[in-house]
Structure formats: structure tokens, C-alpha cells
Structure 1
Amino acid sequence: MGISQPLMTDTETTQKKFVTQQLAERPENTSMQQSSLSSVEVGRGSIVANIVSTLLLRIASRTSFVILGFYLGEHFASATIVAVVLEAFYISELVLAPAMGSLSDRLGRKPFLLTAPVLGIGAAVFFLICALLFPQPQADKFDVKLVVLLLLVLLGRLLEGAATGVNTPASLGYITDTTTGSAKLRTQVMTAFEVVTVGGLALAIPFGGQVSNFLGTWGFLVVVALHVLNLGLIVGFIKESTHHEARADHGSLVESLRMLGNKRIFTFLPAWLSVNALVGAWITLITIVLAYPNPAADMRFPGQLLYGGFSKGSATMLLGGFGLLFLLGMGLWMLVLPRMRRTTTMLIGLGGLSISIIVLTLINGLAENPQSIAPQAMTELIVLLVPLVLGIVLLSGFTPAALTQMASIAETQKGKRGAVMGLYSVVLGIGQLLGASLGGMSVDAGGFYGLMIFSVVLGLLALASVLYMRAHRDDLI
């Protein structure tokens, strides 16, 4: 582990000297050489501003999600209708992310960073207009007004998804541009990106709930304010980062999908997809599983402590605790990740997943429900929390290591960095959708034990992918 990093640094240094020498001998490429060198001179202030911009976008979009969820949930008895409308967010994100990554390679990152909050403002205004036009929708009567409302909300969610689809590949491409030649800085910034992504979602849930409680649907104006603040931050503090050669013609706008033909990307994607599916399943389903009402839960899957019987507040707090530990773990990993081989970190993360699954399975068998847990079982539960915390902290290292791997692959693809990083949004969205849907089927089949079995399958798929990468040294780039 300690040998691979210096070798990689020496190789990069040699290559950089060679390229610089070649460019210096070719006068016609002088401007291109200057552009390449300027890409690392944007300053750390621009990098920090880019990370803060991502945080603001995540908080704004999730706050909007919470307000909209309360608005629809108060008037629609069908959870399926509400879920379908809200999850339309991922459709536009999946469609746009690859194309936006390629376009940001041609046109620069900043235009797309600026476009994202503008789309977010449009979506929030759209939702506010919907709420004003339909303050008390009659969901029990299917008519033209109801169809119009659902279509308007659907359009707004597609706009929000477009904002993320435009922002994420450009933001990640920006990080890749500005950290070229510094593996340590890249690892730290990529980890920070993951921290604000998860942290923004975690902070926005209680924040959005309070905004909704005090302002109702007028809370969409708070969302607008967050996007305006983000827009000002991008205009004032983020400098353009792309290389001159990155603006050359690349042909197809779906360059990200063509990147799947790259061997390193193709062999790594199973691990990245599996972990995103796992996170999607846990975040989406845990609160539903825990809060399933009794006695129906005990009748459906008896003898499972973690299936049903918890209040919604308790279930939310437990999920929040998981998110907090995950954030803490990523913060700790930021300190040691630059010194370790990336597949080593991923294997440790998968080891943490194994610990978490084993401990949660043992906890699930301690009692019938939270109300019937015995004193001895409570003692065992407290003891089991120690390895559970350890497992979650270890697991949290996988995500920043994986994202750093994607960025390192992107650096090898001249002029196509945004296209490669556009895959981040694609895989994230697909993983979330697959995890929630297939994980839900697993829960229906076996309760909380079913979710754990599903997690084991995903963990094994990720393990096979990581071991293949390690054997072929695909992480040493």
C-alpha cells in the first residue's frame, strides 16, 4: 500500500514534464499549454465554493421534496401516486447527466453550474403556483383539475431532476480539473463532495419539515432564496476550470454512455452500482420497515424486532443516527484515504458492510417488537451497538474511495472528464431506483431478514468487482 502512491506520483510527474516539453517545442500549442496550466490555478477558494454550491443545491432540492411531500400527502391517500410523481426526479437526471457531462467538456463547467440553480428556481416557483391554484385538491374525485395538478407537479419534479443532472457531472468534472496532479487534494475534495451530498440531504429533512410547519407551501419561497444564494456564490466565487483541449469537438452528446466501453469503468461499475443500490434500499426502506404498524407487523413476520412497532419519530431518529455516523466516518476517512490504495479502502468498507449485516441480523432476532424486549435482550442490544457503529464507520469509506477512482479514470480521458463523471449521476440514480424496488420486494418476501439477504447479494457483487480491479491493478492510476 505504501509503495503504490509514490510510484503513481513519479509517473504523473514524468508524464507532465514530457508533455510540457513537447508543447514548448510547438509554438502553435502555446495557448493550449497556458490553458492547461491555468486549470490548477483557480485557487482553493473556487474549489470550496463549488463544494458549498453542491451543499446548497442538495438542501434546496430536498427541502422542496419535503414540502411537496407534505402537500401531496395531506390530500392523496394513494402512496403509489405520490411516489411515482416524486420519483420522476430521477428520470430527467438520468437522461440529462451523460449529455451534460459531455457538453461541459466542450463549453466549460461554469455555464452548467449556473444553469442548475436557475432550473431549481423555476421548479420551486412552479410548485408554489400549483399550490396556489389548487390549495385544497380533491384527490378522491378523478377529474381534469386533478390531472392538471399532477402533470404540473410532475413537470416541476422533472425540472428539479434536470437541475441535479446539469450540476453533478459539471461539479465533479470541475473537481477533476482543479485537482489534476494532486492525488491527496483530489481525495480530500471528493470526500468533501460526498459529505455535503449526504449531509445536505440529512440536514434538509428536519429543515424542510420546520419550513413546512411554519410556512406551508409558501416555504417554496425559502427554496427559491437558497437557489438565489447559490447563484450568487457561483457568479462571484467560482472560476472556470476546463482545459483548452477539453473544448474540442467530441461528437456525440452521449459520450458518457460510450465511456462504458472503457475497461476500467466497465469492471468498476458493478461495485459502484451495488453500493448505490444498497444505500438506496436502506435509506428508502428502513423507516418504512421500522414503522410498519403492529399487530399487523408481528402477524406478517413474527419474531423480528426491526420489522414494525417503532413510531415514525423513532424510525426517523434511527435513520438520522445512521446518516450522522456515515458522515462522521467519511470525515475520518478523509484523513487516511490519500495514504491508502483505493481498493484496500473499498475492501475495508465491504468488511464494514459485513459487520453491519451480521449485527443487524442478530439484533433483529432479540425480540418480537420494541415493546416486548426483555432486560437481558436489552443488555445484548447495547453490547451489539458497539460493532454496529464500527461497521457503519468502516462502510462509509467505500463511497469516497469509489468516487476518487472515478475521478482518476476521468483524468486519463483527455477532454472527456465531464463525460466520465456524468456516469456518477447515472449510476447513482439507477442504483437508488433498483435498490428501492428490489429491496422492497425482498422486504415483502422476508421482512427485515429479506432486506439483509438482499444486502448480502449486493455486497458479494461489489466484492467480486473490487477484487477483479485489485488483481488487474486498475486502481493504481
Structure 2
Amino acid sequence: MHANRSLRLLFLTIFLDLMGYGLIIPLLPNYTRSLGASAAMVGVVTAAYSLTQFVFGPVLSSLSDRYGRRPVLLLTIALNVVAYLLFGWAQSLLLLIGSRLLAGLASANLSVAQAYIADSTPLEGRTKALGMIGAALGLGFIFGPPVGGAVKFYLGIEWVGYVAAGLAALNLALALIQLPESLPATRTGRPIRFFDASVLAAVGRSSQLSRLFTVYFLFTLAFAILTVTGALLWRDRFALNDAQIGYTFAGIGVITAVIQGGLLGKLVARFGERSLMLTGLFLMALSLATMPFIPALAFMPGEVALIILFAIGYGLVLPASTALVSRAFSLAEQGQILGQYQSVAALARIIGPVAGAALYGWNVGATYLIGGGIMLVSLLLAQGIGQSASVINPSTSA
């Protein structure tokens, strides 16, 4: 019962964190342009967030292995308060970039949250519990964008930052009062590094883990291509306005939240993580490769059906693959390995938007065929992944 209460509070913590993210992200490009930025600078501001996620994910995770999950989560939530206040105060590109760099550093705590869940749940319930992160992400994208738009319309862009800071402050207060430590008293004494060669070497020695890391990178890369070009495609080909595009992304969030928050446990019990991961990758490859070829007058039901398939696939792949990785390392190493795992995704989110935008300007159809091809390669690689792996301890393995 104590563990269940802690996980419910962690879900609320993640939701409030991602709600603040969802408030800002849809407004960020136009806000950046209003400060005099070029299109290239808009890309720099967008990539700044993922850059610090990539760099600091392993650092935060290894800190949590040594000092505990709770202090790292509290520190990063507090940093989010500062980052959102900076966003509200930003009247220059330099301050705006600084706020996004700090927000990315703070949000590199996702792997710490995943490690907290791995600490608190048995193997058979881990995938369902990890699905709560995806559900919180979906809910953050359901509620965040419309709230952010309304706040901007009535109060101004600076208040979007202040509201996000208020949510982060509420998050911090709840975590201070109610979130207990999840890691046992025995902690790893491994050094704090940006990249831990022993972890990467352990991954390289395991065919299963190498495949999982590669699949995660390719899967996230293809997903990032959609996130940067989806709004362009749906406007250019199907004449959707900004509100309709927002509802489309919210729909993806709803489907993801339903699958990861409600159905995942039953699906894992029946089919296992490996089967769910393969099914999800297939659905994403198929839908991504065909999205730009639906007739212009057939957004409903043609394009919507593909978007639904894509969202279902995403809702299956992320928690299933993360659970498979978490099983391969001892409890004391959970934070470090999941930090490296999230850094792989952050690297893909740096490359994906830049590559996707460039490809879209060259050829729309080719953009999505390439994205679908990348997803297909990840599916083929995933065929060699088993349902479980032997437990690895990088600090003692040769």
C-alpha cells in the first residue's frame, strides 16, 4: 500500500512537470520569432532543451544511484521553478535560451523517475508501472497546450511562464511533504560521469541490450521527425488550422494515456513486453510511411486512422522497451543505465527535428518514407531481442 501511494504521488509529480512543459512548447516557436529570431535560431532554441537532457541525464541518474532518488527529484523540480520564471522574464533570446537549457537539465530527471518506479515494483508489474510515465506525458499534452494558449491570450506570454512555475512549485511542495525515498540504504559508490564507459561497455557486451539501445534511438529519431513535420503536413496537405492541429496532437496524448495508464498491465500479462514492442514498432512504421499519401480530402477518416495507429504503437513501445532494459541491471545500477538510455533518446530528439525539417523542405513524401524506413529498421533489429536478459552489474563485470 505504501508503494502504491508513492507511485500515485510520483505520477502526479510527473504530470505536473509535463503539464508545465506542455504549456510552453506550442507557443515557443512564435515567441522566439517575436524576439527577432531567424528560422535557424528557432531550431537552436528548440534543440537547447534536448541538448541538456542528453548531457545531464546520466549525471542525474548516477547521482540518484549514489545519494538516492528523492534528493535528485527535489533538486530538479526546484530547477524547473527557476527555469519557468526565467521564461516569464525573458525579453531577449539569450535569456530565453538560458531558460530552455535549464529546463532541459531539470527534465533530465525522467530516468530518475523511471528508476524510482523500478525500485518500487516487482518485475512482473514493472511495465505497467513504467507506463504511468507515458500516461502522464499524454495527459500533460492534453491539458497543457489549451491552458497555455488561454493564459497567453488573456494575460500575455510572460504569465505562461509564471503559471508553469506555479505548477512546478506545487509539485515541489507535494514531493517535499509526501514523496519518500525508494532506494535501499545500500548505494553504489561509482564515480559521477557524463558518460559511464563501464555501462556502455556492459551494453556492448550484451547483444540484447545493444539492440534495445539501438532500437530506442531509431524509434525516437523517427518519432521526432513526425513531431517537427506533423503540423506542417496537416496544414499543407489537409488545410488544418492551428486549433485543429492542437486537437490532433491532444488526441495522440489521449490514446497514449489510455493505453499506458489503463490497458498496459492486461496486455503485458497476455502478450509480454517483447510482443508489445514488436507490434508497436510495426504500427508506427506502417502509419508513418503512409501519412503523406492520404488524399487531401480524406483527413477523416484516412489520416486520422493512421494517427490513431501511430499513437497506439507509441503507447506500446516506450514502456515495454524500458522495462526490458531495466530487467538487465541490478537494482543499484537502475538509475545509471536508465540515464544512459534516456540520453540516447535525447540525442535522437536533437537530430530528428533538424533532419526532419530539412527533409520536409526537400520532399514531403520522402520525409515520411525515410521515417517509416527508420522505424522498419528498428523493427527488424528488435526481432533479435528476447523477453528477458541476465542481470548485469557494470561495476563488477569485466
The normalised TM-score by structure 2 is: 0.87
What does 1:65-84 correspond to in 2, within 5 Å?
65-66=25-26, 68-76=28-36, 78-84=38-44
Matched to 2:83, the amino acid is A
| 1:204 matches 2:144 | yes
What does 1:7-26 correspond to in 2, within 5 Å?
none
| 1:451 matches 2:363 | no
| 1:316 matches 2:246 | yes
Q: CA deviation at 1:416?
A: 1.4
CA deviations on 1:388-415 (whole Å, 9 max, x unpaired) are 6456424531122112112222xx3342
What does 1:62-461 correspond to in 2, within 5 Å?
62-66=22-26, 68-76=28-36, 78-131=38-91, 149-165=92-108, 167-179=109-121, 182-216=122-156, 217-245=158-186, 247-254=187-194, 256=196, 258-261=198-201, 262=203, 263=206, 264-292=208-236, 305=237, 309-330=239-260, 331-357=262-288, 360=291, 362-363=293-294, 366=295, 370=296, 373=297, 378=298, 382=301, 389-390=308-309, 392-409=311-328, 412-447=329-364, 449-461=365-377
Number of aligned pairs?
A: 385
Does structure 2 conserve the Cα–Cα contact (< 8 Å) formed by 1:356 and 1:392? Answer: no
CA deviations on 1:41-72 (whole Å, 9 max, x unpaired) are 85211111112101111111332445554533
Which runs of no fewer than 5 residues in structure 1 stay unpaired? Answer: 1-40, 132-148, 293-304
State the secondary structure of the residue aligned to 1:253.
coil
Q: CA deviation at 1:204?
A: 1.2
Does structure 2 conserve the Cα–Cα contact (< 8 Å) formed by 1:98 and 1:419? Answer: yes
Moved over 6 A (4+): none
Matches of 1:243 and 1:361, distance apart in 2: 50
Cα 1:252–1:323 shift into 2, 3 Å: closer
The normalised TM-score by structure 1 is: 0.74
Identity of aligned residues (%): 21
Matches of 1:219 and 1:226, distance apart in 2: 11
Cα 1:119–1:44 shift into 2, 3 Å: same
Which runs of no fewer than 5 residues in structure 2 stay unpaired? Answer: 392-398
Q: CA deviation at 1:358?
A: 5.9
State the secondary structure of the residue aligned to 1:350.
helix
Matches of 2:306 and 2:33, distance apart in 1: 38
Q: CA RMSD in A?
A: 2.6
Does structure 2 conserve the Cα–Cα contact (< 8 Å) formed by 1:176 and 1:407? Answer: yes
Does structure 2 conserve the Cα–Cα contact (< 8 Å) formed by 1:114 and 1:231? Answer: yes
Does structure 1 conserve the Cα–Cα contact (< 8 Å) formed by 2:219 and 2:374? Answer: yes
Q: CA deviation at 1:103?
A: 1.1
Matches of 2:333 and 2:362, distance apart in 1: 43
Cα 1:255–1:106 shift into 2, 3 Å: farther
Does structure 1 conserve the Cα–Cα contact (< 8 Å) formed by 2:215 and 2:378? Answer: yes
Does structure 1 conserve the Cα–Cα contact (< 8 Å) formed by 2:83 and 2:102? Answer: yes
Does structure 1 conserve the Cα–Cα contact (< 8 Å) formed by 2:127 and 2:319? Answer: yes
Does structure 2 conserve the Cα–Cα contact (< 8 Å) formed by 1:256 and 1:422? Answer: no
Matches of 1:424 and 1:233, distance apart in 2: 28
Please tell me whether Structure 1 or Structure 2 has the larger radius of gyration of its CA atoms: 1
Matched to 2:333, the amino acid is K
CA deviations on 1:166-206 (whole Å, 9 max, x unpaired) are x2122111111111xx2332121101111112331342112
Cα 1:466–1:208 shift into 2, 3 Å: same
Cα 1:387–1:252 shift into 2, 3 Å: closer
Does structure 1 conserve the Cα–Cα contact (< 8 Å) formed by 2:289 and 2:369? Answer: no
